[in-house]
Chain A
């Protein structure tokens, strides 16, 4: 299919054919298609999601024409779900679009099994009580759930699922895997075969820095009892030794070596993050374990044995000043070692699969290969259930946000050592929004409308909202903390308005998280994202 590929060119360059295939295989359910939900889904439809089902029981009103691009004049009075789904169909005819004219709350109450058919559910504009119920249903059915909400100039996004593992996390900045201070046999032999004191000046300045550093690191270790430079003075000395080997100022390879010398000082072995994953109880695998954990179990064994404390070699090297021949040779040496490590891992994986009673070929070679390449960058994301968070949030974190005090100190300085005058710091408003968004739901449960929803009632609603917030804080164990009065007033002013720009922003964020979750590439957010459209100091809260 040449046509679809060209259309998706700009996004294929990000998540590749595999990521695209994952998107095209998935089915998404949207609850409530006001602007928040509609904008979320629009971005996914444009990206080629497989199928969508829009669930909303309301009819299009005149007021919707002022905030929702996916409905128009001709749809007033009709089912909102129907109108939104047919516009989305127009946006991308390879997506299968359906709609269900039902209120999500009703489905949640009376037909929970409805949700099990989907890969992922996007739940927008739901109140606390519905969120909790839906969360239970989706956890049970193993369906990914993401909440998004716009409320005046505020909003939030929250992913909810038990566990999401990522092999292709693709971090922007990650140290390359060069093993300069821990070379294997072939790399060491190659380095040994090159003479740094070669007379020909052209050859001298085209020795790749990897070779220079492997040799120099080895020389240093030999004269320092096997240790590497660790103190500031030693590191400087090491760099000076490199400088001393330069025969002219234009030797880019030596300049690169000096700049890259920190790679020699980096500790051998694996990172704490990876260690934590290996120590996780899920790495004790059985027949119910996911492929990811089987691979981790194999990795654990590899590191302990053949790897000698190191993960499988990643295999690629960055570009560096070098003769073409030496660069290609070096490249091949790294590729060969990566391949050898992969073959060992493959055997380990197959034998573990057999041990736990699974078909030893059930994890494809390509997956094992990708796992090996990305072994140092694995990520495991876990999310608390909504019920747990709502009933017993992480109290120390909550206190920290509420008081804007962090035990790690840190005052704000404003240039030239002058202290900034005290001003509301970033977490205070965000956590205030978090509490108030829950308080408005409690308010609505009591009074059948949101605070400030009707012009006439705004003044009475302010104290009512305030007491709902205070009682919520008290329930959570935070007695006596005050929320900013101005913020409480603002929430009443908003009157549960769904503003298009806020919906588009929150929807944009939600849709991006959906893409990361479905493609299983890049790292989804953790915690609850609180959107603060008042001064844009949005925050991630980990409760």
Chain B
């Protein structure tokens, strides 16, 4: 089927049909044109978080869907066990940083694409870094990492008032204003199962709103491990969590150290033999200790592709968007379902923020004590910022010293005597009996202060 001779062969021959032609089943603001395609290509910046099984696929898919300005961030190095699915890596690459090799490989094969790799932890970047991107695509393998990025993206949702710090405004009905929402597309896989979801902070549920979707990790009771082991996993965790410390005192167990792993395996095998329990193998030991999740190329391909399609739709409105959570399971036949979850209006992360009412006389220290006791927050080790200004920082020591004197000052004064405003608090809280770090947005209002002329006050900020 030959193309018309008049047209120049275009690289985006197929994508053009979607972006240059008008349609009916499209987003409300779809403007089909070569300009749209070029804008995506030249100006849309997408961040891919993770350069592993999902990340490699995401980079390829996004690059071949018209996105030519990508960043990728990953703190890991390539391992042999990655090679069955992380197709941008070869045996010679083992040991090199994933983000760097992935970026290089994609740029080699697809000309015109620019990918900036970041070989570091996601926490190492300034919050502003994340704000530079139009859309953030997540290819992560942990709940904690997702939570972190979710916190960051949602922190861009802010106060009732306009603020110069790239924050989202809420209108008087507490609805966030659109142009300041930071969309995220999140994918996850495990064996034959996976999910892909679209998160528009303030509009669709954020990661925190639906945290109940993730079941807590299995932990064996200590008495089972110590006294009545019954399974191979019990023997392994005994060696890993109890015997190791008894035998090695100060040395931390390193799951990537083959000698450490062998020690745990030998101890587990001994214990298993003692109790007559079958099933302790080296491979199984690794699986239990490292919590290895089985992974294959096909599921990663499916989920990443779904995420990419949604990214393209968010950026161009070239079709309807997924609303808002896709689950996939290919182990028994084929099951895909899109569920429309709703936001938790009181969500601690993407909601307008927990409302806290205090007296104008309350000091910053007293306020921090309140946060610790607040039933919804239970926040300890708080670091507090107001409109980008540090009120108190727990770390580093230099900043702590600098801000220590604020602790005895009234919060009302520290917040510029506004009758109400939003502050952000970084601290530690309890989740599933574990201490985790979190970022919370709080709406502070001061009792007995005349709040009528809010807009006038804020205008001068």
From residue B437, how far is it (CB to closest CB) to chain A in Å? 29
What is the 8 Å Cβ interface bit string for chain B, positions 9-34, against chain A (1 contact, 0 not)? 11111110110011111000000000
A153, A170, A454: residue with the most chain B Cβ atoms closer than 10 Å: A153
Which among A7, A72, A529, A534 is the interface contact of B81 at CB below 8 angstroms? A7
Q: Does A65 contact B (CB under 8 A)?
A: yes
Which among A42, A322, A324, A327 is the interface contact of B297 at CB below 8 angstroms? A42
A499 touches B306 (CB 8 A): no
A486 touches B298 (CB 8 A): no
| Complex interface: chain A residues within 8 A of B18 (CB) | 152-153, 493-494, 497, 499
> CA of A206 to CA of B326 in the docked complex: distance in angstroms?
43
B81 touches A515 (CB 8 A): no
B9 touches A62 (CB 8 A): yes
From residue B269, how far is it (CB to closest CB) to chain A in Å? 16
From residue A463, how far is it (CB to closest CB) to chain B in Å? 15
- Of all chain B residues, which has the CB nearest A68? B64
What is the 8 Å Cβ interface bit string for chain B, positions 315-340, against chain A (1 contact, 0 not)? 00001111100100011111010100
Query: Chain B contact residues: over half helix, strand or loop, or mixed?
Result: loop
B1 touches A453 (CB 8 A): yes
From residue A528, how far is it (CB to closest CB) to chain B in Å? 11
Stretch of B125-133, B225-233, B352-360 contacting A (4+ beta carbons < 8 Å):
B225-233
B110 touches A69 (CB 8 A): yes
What is the 8 Å Cβ interface bit string for chain A, positions 14-37, against chain B (1 contact, 0 not)? 100000000000000000000100
B25 touches A534 (CB 8 A): yes
CB-CB under 8 A for A489 and B85, given A61-B9, A172-B332, A324-B229: no
- Of all chain B residues, which has the CB nearest A535? B320
> CA of A43 to CA of B304 in the docked complex: distance in angstroms?
13
From residue A339, how far is it (CB to closest CB) to chain B in Å? 14
What is the 8 Å Cβ interface bit string for chain A, positions 60-83, against chain B (1 contact, 0 not)? 011101111100110000000000
Interface residues on B, range: 35 or more
B87 touches A14 (CB 8 A): no
A69 touches B109 (CB 8 A): yes
B15 touches A486 (CB 8 A): no
B14 touches A497 (CB 8 A): yes
Chain B contacts with A in 31-68, Cβ cutoff 8 A: 57, 60-61, 64-65
Q: Does B111 contact A (CB under 8 A)?
A: yes
| Complex interface: chain B residues within 8 A of A536 (CB) | 306, 322, 326, 336, 338
What is the 8 Å Cβ interface bit string for chain B, positions 218-239, against chain A (1 contact, 0 not)? 0000001000111100000000
A72 touches B109 (CB 8 A): yes
From residue B135, how far is it (CB to closest CB) to chain A in Å? 14
Residues of A within 8 A of B (CB): 3, 6-14, 35, 39, 42-43, 46-48, 61-63, 65-69, 72-73, 90-91, 152-153, 169-172, 206, 319-324, 327-328, 448-450, 452-456, 458, 485-487, 489-490, 493-495, 497-502, 504-505, 507-509, 511-513, 515-516, 522-526, 529, 533-538, 540
Closest 4 A/B residue pairs (Cβ): A63-B13, A508-B301, A505-B305, A508-B302
From residue B139, how far is it (CB to closest CB) to chain A in Å? 14
| Complex interface: chain B residues within 8 A of A453 (CB) | 1
> CA of A42 to CA of B109 in the docked complex: distance in angstroms?
15
From residue B157, how far is it (CB to closest CB) to chain A in Å? 25
A501 touches B65 (CB 8 A): yes
Which among B14, B21, B277, B322 is the interface contact of A63 at CB below 8 angstroms? B14
Which among A72, A502, A513 is the interface contact of B309 at CB below 8 angstroms? A502
| Complex interface: chain A residues within 8 A of B228 (CB) | 206, 321-324, 327
Known: A327-B228, A490-B25, A513-B330. 18 other contacts (CB 8 A): A7-B81, A10-B294, A10-B295, A43-B297, A63-B9, A63-B13, A322-B228, A452-B21, A454-B3, A493-B17, A493-B18, A495-B21, A499-B15, A501-B61, A512-B298, A529-B334, A535-B320, A535-B323
Which among A61, A73, A320, A324 is the interface contact of B275 at CB below 8 angstroms? A324
CB-CB under 8 A for A11 and B295, given A62-B9, A172-B332, A505-B309: yes
From residue A213, how far is it (CB to closest CB) to chain B in Å? 17
Q: Does B312 contact A (CB under 8 A)?
A: yes
A505 touches B301 (CB 8 A): yes
Chain B contacts with A in 75-119, Cβ cutoff 8 A: 80-81, 83-85, 87, 90, 108-111
